[in-house]
Structure 1
Amino acid sequence: MRIDPRTPVVVGVGQFTERIDDPDYRGMSAVDLATAAAQAALADTGADATAVAGAVDTVYGLRQFEISGPMPATLGKSNNYPRSVMRRLGGDPRRVVLEPVGGQGPQKLVTEAGDAIVAGNADVVMIMGSEPGSTAKYFANRDDKPDFTEHVDGQLEDRGHQIYSYIDEYTVQHGLTGAPVQYGLLENARRARLGLGVAQYRQAMAELFAPMSKVAAKNPFSSSPVERSVEEIETVTDENRMICDPYPRLLVARDTVNQGAAIVLTSVESARKLGVPEEKWVFLHGHSDLVEQPLLDRVDLGASPAAAHAAHEALRVAGLGVADIATFDLYSCFPFPVFVICEALGLSGDDPRGHTLTGGLPYFGGPGNSYSVHGIAETVAQMRDRPGRFGFVGANGGIMSKYSVGIYSTEPAQWRTSRSAELTARVAELPTVRVTKTPEGAGSVETYSVRYDWPVRTGIIVGRLDADGSRFMATTDDADLVGLMSDGDPLGAKISVTPTENGNRAVLR
């Protein structure tokens, strides 16, 4: 097969993890972590690493938590994260980009970089991400805090954090200020649709995730390389405390990590010029990038049509079926995104191919927006070891808001386009639910979470008004209702809701 010289190909991947119990733990910065990963990716090309670094003309950087919103970076930060890394590598790219918030970003950027290479707008591209959450925690109460402030001159296309594309004043006012509570609403809505009890569903989540911990236990880049049993994951203890219903700690992405990962993509022509051996080349056969409806508009909060379309579209573009896939790495911040793709593709919870190559976000680590760089890196490594096979990467962002898929193989393939924009438009046209922002009167609980991470245990509710079926949000610290939400099953419970200056409040009726 003759390959067009402009065809994009992944030629290098690298990962780095610093664990707090490592004897040489340093408490590295975001720039240091990304630099270590990028060095590994350059070395992985099998070519002259210095020459490859010098040839990089475009860099995409993924945001750390510390620059993913309006909060300050408490230990300081670079004003130009991608260029800070490239300066350490001896590179001076023509263009650098800082991507908005979203865990779909790594796979979305691989596709974007591929388009740029095909169009002749880039030849050698690096995608990098890192998360220094462990460093931030380690120095939080110490007097010897480092200052990671750095000023680097040069072009930067900062696309902004765009965090408010996922949340707004109304949802924040009603407690949706973190991923566990946001996904808790989705998880309990899915439980309602399936008609499962609280204990049944928690066991199903634990059964889905326990095998991931076995993968993490064997991965040298894992932040928590410990195998966990189903019983250990589902049983609430002091160590495995409840975070937000329905999640005890071992079902929640582990974001207190120090991890970095990087990918190098080139055109086939540039790979040859740089001397990258062909056994290093991995092609992107299928891809998709879809956007879901806004959270409260969705008819079924326990589903994600956009993610399902993304999974099927990437397979269509690749010309493959589910049976053709040898490996999966599904974004696993919580069970919900994994369940969604398993349902969409007809995968069982115990599929012998597994659902992760890293070990999953609660066990391998959840380095913020950059997790799926690790998933892609593991997939590329696996594909090189299994020439001609196909690896599926599913990357999720926001509140199940955006989903990107990539399908990788050493088998040569020309660059293909997807119908992602058309499918996103189709999702946007799906029916919606009317929202009443200041409800009053009788209603019922549609879905819920409980915030155990607040000073006062608080129920977070998405409800429906009896009068017109419209949807609303409310919080509650009513003892009877919080008790039912914590220790019983409040789905469908009859409540009364009242608007206040500080948001809507609900009580049992």
Structure 2
Amino acid sequence: MDRLHLDPSTPVLVGCGQVSDPLDHGDYHRWSAVELAAEASKRALADAGLEASAVDTVAGVRQFEISSDFGTAPLGRSNNFPRSVAYRLGASPKRAVLEVVGGQGPQHLVNEFAREISAGRAQTVLLFGSEAISTTRAFAGRDDSPDFDEVVEGDLEDRGYGLEGLMNEYEMRHGLVGAPPQYALLEHARRHRIGADVGAYADQMGRLFAPFTSVAARNPFAAAPIERTAGELATVSEKNRLIADPYPRYMVARDQVNQGAAVVMTSVGAADAAGIPEDRRVYLHGSCDLRELDLLDRPDLSRSPAAVRASEIALQRAGLAVDDVAHFDLYSCFPIAVLSVCDGLGLAPEDPRGLTLTGGLPFFGGAGNNYAMHAIAEAMNAVRSGADGPVFVGANGGTLSKYSVGIYSTVPRAFRVTSDAAIQAELDSVERVAVATLDGTTAAVLETYTVVPRKEGGAASFVVGRLGDGSRILAVSEDDSIAATLELGESIGTEFTARPSEGRNLLIAVGR
């Protein structure tokens, strides 16, 4: 479509900015999360050629420290993150939003505010996020620590944590908290489904992520710009310790980062009025936002129907097939987050187009909930620099719980307002697996497992199993002999026994 025939309310991305503040750099600034986001936003506005006064809406992505009631901010924090950033820019937006928890957040905000701009409810929108976890951990408790506390006035649309479906009391009672063991359960389920033994699957994960390290090594904003071989990634060692079987440290999203990213969205009419050149404009050709069933409710723990369906729908709305995409950035907190989308779309893990633009969360950095903002910025850079086709960004939140997709291109395209409600209803209509309550020692068939080493020695084991009626249970053990049996990788499909104890199920024995 010729730009001259576009509706002036068509949303368009016109600026992006990224920043990092590594502890070991000579120009280390000790920036807070607010300062990182403000610096990234300044760069995004400069990239767009816009003044901060043009911004009527700001939306911020939550830092980890404000993502739950259990979060702590040892160096302090803002009472109103979006308006703190706006204040530093000299902006006075009419609307300020703080998004819910989850790595889907940046892409979801792009999808949402594209609709807001199209409807005339916003003209120029600034989206941003950041994490200063490295600085917080380095200076917590020190006499020379910076003070990140600040209070600003102004309205805030705080959407809350949005943790529904991401965790529940049953899992917490069993100690199944934190992303590594939760994802590890899914990873082993996939390993079993494809018929790979432990060694072969470790090799597959290493071969998947080795090219990611090459991209990170070339990225000036990467937290770990080191190229590694598949063998290095897959082999457990002193430096690459086991976090949760089957994940060594190099396979896990790196949260110790100081990073920020921002993008600017406006309407075609506003872009015309501001004189933004056509070759700086990036259009959202397709998008979709879907969510998965709660973890233990899912019929198949080895797959992610919501992520795959969101990907298919976004491509369909863009009028594209997978082969038409020039580049991908698939959310990569753990291998299965990438592999589940590859499985569903028929993408080879070694696809020559590559599966990351940043270097991925374990190597570029898992900047809290904001990683995908960096991916979107890199997508904009890629299509602006002449990528031969559109770029696909997939953003994941929770435990493969929420998935948001955006398809980006410099080719002008009319914007269609779409609804994901019917597709979500279709996903929600599948029969959920019931979670059983044990009333005595019971046998079950082992569906998946993980073993998590303890800092003080030994390990905790988690297993998911099916009872004879098809219902599911979670059980936990701190018996090292059980952990040793599970780590052989031959127990899926065999029988185990568990008994209830003080609100949780204790794993008694595992067969082979």
Q: Same fold (TM over 0.5)?
A: yes
Partner Cα separation in structure 2 for residue 358 and residue 14 of structure 1? 13
Paired residue type of 1:476: S
Q: By how many angstroms is 1:454 displaced?
A: 5.0
Distance in 2 (alpha carbons) for counterparts of 1:342 and 1:81? 36
1:439-465 superposed Cα distances (whole Å, 9 cap, x missing partner)? 631113211111125544100111122
Contact persistence 1:313–1:418 (CA under 8 A): no
Match of 1:158 in 2: 158
Contact 1:313 1:419 in 2 (8 A): no
- How far the C-alpha of 1:433 sits from its partner, in A, is 1.1
Give the drift of 1:28. 1.8
Partner Cα separation in structure 2 for residue 248 and residue 439 of structure 1: 36
Take 1:233 and 1:158, find their aligned partners in 2: how far apart are those partners? 39
SS at match of 2:127: strand
Residues 1:401 and 1:488: Cα distance change in structure 2 (over 3 Å) = closer
Cα offset, 1:502, TM superposition: 4.6
What is the DSSP-based 3-state SS (H/G/I as helix, E as strand, rest coil) of the residue aligned with 1:150? coil
8 Å CA contact retained: 1:27, 1:134? no
> 8 Å contact 1:388–1:410 — kept in the other structure?
no
State the match for 1:462 in structure 2.
464
2:64 aligns to what? 65
For 2:34, which of 31, 36, 39 is the aligned residue? 31
Distance 1:101 1:252 in 2: 19
Amino acid at match of 1:26: H
Code of the residue aligned with 1:79 in structure 2: it is N
Hey, what does 2:359 align to over in structure 1? 359
Structure 1 counterpart of 2:313: 313
Distance 1:439 1:24 in 2: 61
- CA separation in 2, counterparts of 1:407 and 1:175? 38
Q: What is aligned with 2:323?
A: 323
Distance 2:367 2:490 in 1: 33
Q: CA deviation at 1:146?
A: 2.2
Once the two structures are superposed, residues 139-198 of structure 1 have per-residue CA deviations (whole angstroms, 9 ceiling, x without a partner) of 135232222111100010000112243001111122221111110011011111112111
Give the Cα separation in 1 of the matches to 2:477 and 2:470. 20
75-84 or 447-456: which moved more? 447-456
Aligned to 2:501: 500
Superposed, 1:223-302 pairs within 5 Å as 223-302=223-302
5+ residue gaps in structure 1?
Answer: none
Seen in structure 2, the aligned counterparts of structure 1 residues 200 and 418 have a Cα distance that, compared at 3 Å, is farther
Asked if the contact 1:133–1:257 (Cα under 8 Å) also holds between the matched residues in 2, the reply is yes
In structure 2, what is the Cα distance between the partners aligned to 1:476 and 1:508? Answer: 9
| Residue 17 in structure 1 maps to residue 20 in structure 2 | yes
Aligned equivalents of 1:145, 1:15: Cα separation in 2: 25
Q: Return the offset for 1:487.
A: 4.0
Per the alignment, in what secondary structure is the counterpart of residue 146 of structure 1? coil
Match of 1:428 in 2: 428
Please give the alpha-carbon distance, in whole angstroms, between the structure 2 residues aligned to 1:432 and 1:321: 31
What does 1:402-441 align with in structure 2 at a 5 Å threshold?
Answer: 402-438=402-438, 440=440, 441=442
Q: Does 1:55 align with 2:58?
A: no
Letter in 1 for 2:259: Q
Map 1:322-401; keep pairs closer than 5 Å: 322-386=322-386, 389-401=389-401
* Counterpart code for 2:100: P
What is the aligned partner in structure 1 of residue 492 from structure 2?
Answer: 491
Q: Corresponding residue for 1:102? A: 102
Secondary structure of the 1:163 match is: coil
TM-score calculated relative to the size of structure 1:
0.97
- Report the Cα distance in structure 1 between the residues aligned to 2:164 and 2:111, rounded to whole angstroms: 24
TM-score under structure 2 length normalisation: 0.96
- 1:100·1:159 contact (CA, 8 Å) conserved in 2? yes
Amino acid at match of 1:13: C
Once residues 23 and 388 of structure 1 are traced to their aligned partners in structure 2, the CA distance between those partners, rounded to angstroms, is 38
Counterpart amino acid of residue 4 in structure 1: D
**Distance in structure 2 (CA, Å) of the matches to 1:449 and 1:500:** 20
Q: What percent of counterpart residues are identical?
A: 51
> In 2, distance between residues paired with 1:116 and 1:209?
37
Worse-superposed segment, 30-39 or 156-165? 156-165
* Contact 1:439/1:497 (<8 A) preserved: no
Structure 1 ranges of 4+ moved more than 3 A? 437-440, 453-456
When residues 387 and 470 of structure 1 are mapped into structure 2, their CA distance, relative to the original with a 3 A threshold, is closer
Bigger CA drift: 83-92 or 166-175? Answer: 166-175
Distance in 2 between residues matched to 1:84 and 1:316, nearest whole Å: 39
Q: Please state whether the residue corresponding to 1:365 is helix, strand or coil.
A: coil
- Separation of aligned partners in 1, 2:486 and 2:131: 34
CA-based RMSD of the aligned residues comes to: 1.3
In 2, Cα distance between the equivalents of 1:356 and 1:88?
32
410-419 or 260-269: bigger deviation: 410-419
Aligned-partner Cα distance in 1 for 2:341–2:157: 33
For residues 438 and 80 of structure 1, what CA distance do their matches in structure 2 show? 45
How many corresponding residue pairs?
504
Q: How far 1:418 sits from its partner (Å)? A: 3.4
